[in-house]
Structure formats: structure tokens, C-alpha cells
Amino acid sequence: MAGRGLAALAALLGGLGLSAMSGTAPAQDRTTVVLGTATPGGGFPVYGAAYAETVNEFEPTLQVTTRNTRGSTENIPLLEAGQLDIALVQGEAGHEALAGIGRPPAKLLVVAAMYSSPGMFVVRADSPAKSIRDLVGKPVAFGARGSGLVILSRYVLDGLGLDQNRDFQAIYLDKAGDGPAMVQDGRAAALWGGGIGWPGFATMAKSPGGARFIAPDAEEIRRILARHDFLKPLSVPAGVYPGQGAPIHSVGSWSFVMARPTLPDEVAYKLMRAVHKGEAAIARRLPQASETTAANTANAVPRIGLLHPGAAKYLREAGLLR
């Protein structure tokens, strides 16, 4: 009996030694971090999966798990209530929450920059529409109800003297993934979206009939930025989507991984460290996540005070922040 007990103990200790040597930790010993994303079919759930897998690969003490939500406008109050640890927040939704537009200012913090989101419309290749003005009065799918992309479209159109509810037959989706089918079968004349590698754009571009993109022209971009200076000129490089032979210039902002204000500094530090170590890995998992770098986090955050202290500590140690 005693011999078998010693043998079992030796086997257990050997297993623990192997775990330690391999640099991994048992799941039950990891700190769970809950990440809020958005509705299936949009860019946030795809990004969230890539982010979680990368952090879990490069930080053995954390276990990031994803949770589908209604998007940025739900993620913000869930973070404030402590029901999420971190969440994906689109730039305009974050701007409004932090600035206290239509609500008390949110006390949320940035742990990483996700990617830039130039906003634009996509139409079928055979659509007669050539400009944003050509879509006035038409049914347009502006995205999922809780998506920050809906807020971006509102600012872009306001900069052109248009209102998305008054001047268009606005369609708000229950699931972001429903948009392409509505354009393809004629229920909508166009779909609004944003970013590089956005799933709705990719689906449209790969469809049998093909697709075209409609973005503000140079004069429209000037007008939009003059009215809403928190937006930035952004571009989608040529060839990102099938059939897209030239760059697409538009306006938009950066989306961020944001944290509840009570997220421990040590956890935010480890999240930032994992992102830095895993920059190549997350880019392999998702092309648009190639913008998720420590350097971009340091440069894209609107002001340094919005960085989580734990993330800021890591960036300073890495020489990316003064």
C-alpha cells in the first residue's frame, strides 16, 4: 500500500514538474477574464476569438473567455456594472461614453488598441448607386442595433448634412451577419460597415455577382472632419477585398479593448504583455488584428490618462510610452 502511495505521489509530482517546465498552468489555476464581444456575424466576435486565443497562448496565468453581447452600446454598461472584465468597444461609442454625451461620463480604461475602422457602404456590383447621395431615400442596413458602427454612420452622415433615420429607410439588424443577404436579395440597397477584413464586406465581395464600395469623396471627408474633429482620415489598402483594385479613403476611428475600472493592475499588465508577445500570432489568426500592437496602443489612445495603469506600466517598461 505504502509503495503504491509513494509511486502515485511520485507520478503526481512528475506531472506537476512537466507542467511547470512547459510554461503552462492548469485551467483551474488561471485567472478567468471575461471578454464581451457582439452579435454573431460581425467583426467583434471574430476578433474576440483571436484576441482570447492569443492571450491564452502567451499568458499562462490568464484564461480569457468570450461572451456574445449586443455590441459596444451594451458592453459599456456591462463593464461599468462589473459584469464583464474587458470588452470590445468601437471608437465612436467609446468617445460618447467617455465624453458623457447623452449620459454621465464613463470611467473605463483602455487595455489595448484593436484596429482602425474606416466606415463605408457596400452595394451589389450591379447597383446604380455611385455615391452616398445616391443612397438617400433607399433602404440601408446600418448594422446591428447595439453596434458602434451605427454611431459612426450617424456622425459621418451628419457631417454631410444627412440624418440616417430621416433621409434613409434605416434598417437595424438583430444580428450583424444578416446584412449581406439583405443587400444580395434586394431588401436593402446598401450595407454600412467598417474596417479591414470586416466579415460583412468580405461576404459581399466574395458573392457571385461581386460588390462595390461607396465612401465619402475628398470634399465630403473634409466636411465630415471639419464638423467632427475626433474622427480621423483612414484608408483600406488596395486588394483587401476581392475585386477592390484601389485604396478606399474614408473616415473613422480606432476601436479598443476596454476594461472595467476595478480590473486589477496585474491583470491589465499581463494582457498588454501577452498582446505584445503575441503580435505575430494574432495577425496570423486574423489579418485585421495585425494592427493590434503595443506601439499602436500607445499611439492610438486619445490621451494617456485613458490607459489602464497596468497596461501603461508595461508600455513604459517596453520603451513605448514615456
User: Is 11 within the bounds of a domain?
Assistant: no
- pLDDT tens string, the chain, 322 residues long: the values are 444 444 443 443 333 333 333 345 566 689 999 999 999 888 899 999 999 999 999 999 999 999 999 999 999 999 999 999 999 999 999 999 999 999 999 999 999 999 999 999 999 999 999 999 999 999 999 998 878 889 999 999 999 999 999 999 999 998 888 999 999 999 999 999 998 888 999 999 999 999 999 999 999 999 999 999 989 999 999 999 999 999 999 999 999 999 999 999 999 999 999 999 999 999 999 988 999 999 999 999 989 999 999 999 999 999 999 8
Residue type, 211: A
CATH number of the domain within which 191 lies? 3.40.190.10
User: Is 322 within the bounds of a domain?
Assistant: no
User: Is 8 within the bounds of a domain?
Assistant: no
What is the maximum span of the chain, computed from C-alpha positions, in angstroms? Answer: 85
Helices 148-159 and 91-99 pack at an angle, to 10 degrees, of: 80
User: Is 278 within the bounds of a domain?
Assistant: yes
* 172 and 207 share one domain: yes
Residue type, 79: L
Of the three residues 228, 253, 278, the one that is the final residue of a domain is 253
Taking only the tens place, the pLDDT of each residue in 273-321 is 999 999 999 999 998 899 999 999 999 998 999 999 999 999 999 999 9
Taking only the tens place, the pLDDT of each residue in 79-104 is 999 999 999 999 999 999 999 999 99
Report d(CA 43, CA 287) in Å as an integer: 12
Find the domain containing 126 and state its range.
117-253
* 56 and 135 share one domain: no
CB atoms inside a 10 Å sphere around CB 137: 11
* 240 and 138 share one domain: yes
User: Is 9 within the bounds of a domain?
Assistant: no
For residue 250, what is the DSSP state? E
* 127 and 191 share one domain: yes
Of the three residues 253, 275, 306, the one that is the final residue of a domain is 253
User: Is 185 within the bounds of a domain?
Assistant: yes
* 31 and 89 share one domain: yes
CA distances to 138, 151, 311 from 186, rounded to whole Å, are 11, 24, 46
Mean pLDDT of the chain: 91
Report d(CA 125, CA 254) in Å as an integer: 29
pTM over 0.85? The answer is no
* 50 and 161 share one domain: no
Tally of structural domains, the chain: 2
Of the three residues 253, 274, 294, the one that is the final residue of a domain is 253
* 34 and 109 share one domain: yes
* 266 and 226 share one domain: no
CB 124 within 8 A of CB 51: no
User: Is 64 within the bounds of a domain?
Assistant: yes
